[in-house]
Amino acid sequence: MILIKNGYLINPKARTEGRRDILIANGRIVQIRTALTERYCEAYAADPSHHVADPALRVIDASHLIVAPGLVDTHSHFRDPGYPLKEDIVSGANSAMRGGYTTIIMMANTKPPIDNVDSLRDVLERGDQTPIHIYSAANATIGMGGRELTDFHALKEAGAACFTDDGKPILDPVVFLAALKAAKKERRPLSLHEENPAYIKQNGVNAGGYAARFLHLEGSSREAEISMVQRDVDLAVKFMAPLCIQHISTAEAVDIVRQGRKRNRKIHAEATPHHFALTEEAVLRCGTMAKMNPPLRTEEDRLAIIDGLCDGTIDIIATDHAPHTAEEKALPFAEAPSGIIGLETALSLGIRELVNKGYLSMTQLIECLSCNPAAYYCLPAGRVETGGPADLVLFDEHEVWKVEPPFASRSSNTPFIGETMPGVVHYTICGGKVVYEK
């Protein structure tokens, strides 16, 4: 058993916060009260009707910590199978735990891709061997080719959390519409990477501005995202289907989603910490460490994303955790792969950029990091309640740490190396067990 004493509980799903003690037994939360004594806990364990498997009591003094539901990331790349030098399911889980995450949805653009039941079952079975809850997306089209749908029903029955060809858009509108209808029928979200390659000369950097002046690259036009988001939101509205726009990066796309949600509340969008924390200027300071798809854009775009978070247009913060080796990121800018790791810095960036600057309350930040993504993807997570799963993160919002290797991830590709950030995770608890401790 675990007794968490004097923590400041933030529970956005129940709209409650305040000092609470929490008793955990058999992987569940069994009591939440303003005060619980060790004697009460011992009596609880001694009652045979409670069937406490491990009556030994561990007391955690959380008097200086926020206690919140374990964080939920619905967009992580664990590179498994196919790219073990970048990341695998075990190292990805370790990175998640260090960042306060207890639930992860892995993306399906692996090698081979997760476009069939056998591949999906393989990664789910290996995910089950980690201390946290690992789910996986399945591909929307076979081989991520954008031409033929996968078997949505069979993949859903095998445990697919959502459908996506993340890394690639579904360009053919007929195929996209078929995917939208199939996802609606199976009651699983369709989650999309919205970049039309017709508007991209070199990916990973915003067209114009810094790309043209300093890197001599034509880059990725904002129209690459805007055009795809407009088409897909319009169709999602027409058929009242669930749709999530991944890693939104432009002010225009934010407004398209805002207008679409007025007509279809099943439309959602996710923001990444790097898109609300950085602009295209970062490529000058950080080089390939700031190369990502979609690219970092202008200050106006960054502020529009924050506005979207403030008014609920964007209700999910997802990391797009994308590990790459140091050798890959050392390549010339045009040749290096896009993406950065994000699981270990997401909470801190949310505190620094959104809470400390007055855009969101801590409760609103935790909502975007836990109960909102859990609710949209129908995951048993993101809540703190009696009888519910004992998946929690305990962190100090004021304590600072320096971003530097070694990371729990196998990779260290992040533009934030050397920065000091607020928000230190002290404990990650999953299934009633301490899986990470500072």
Task: Indicate if 320 belongs to the active site.
Answer: yes
C-alpha pair distances (Å), 66 with each of 50, 275, 363: 28, 26, 11
What's the rounded Cα separation, in Å, for the pair 173 and 228? 10
CB 225 within 8 A of CB 250: yes
CA dihedral over 74, 79, 81, 86, signed as positive or negative:
negative
What's the rounded Cα separation, in Å, for the pair 390 and 3? 11
- Dihedral angle, C-alpha 332, 323, 320, 89, nearest 10 °: 160
Closest listed residue to residue 73, CA positions, set 267, 225, 270: 270
Sheet with 133-136, strands from edge to edge, namely 71-76, 101-106, 133-136
CB 228 within 8 A of CB 195: yes
How large is the angle between the packed helices 173-186 and 223-238, nearest 10 degrees? 50
Catalytic residue (one of 73, 80, 232, 320): 320
- Residue type at 159 in one-letter notation: G
- Residue type at 211 in one-letter notation: A
Catalytic residues: 320
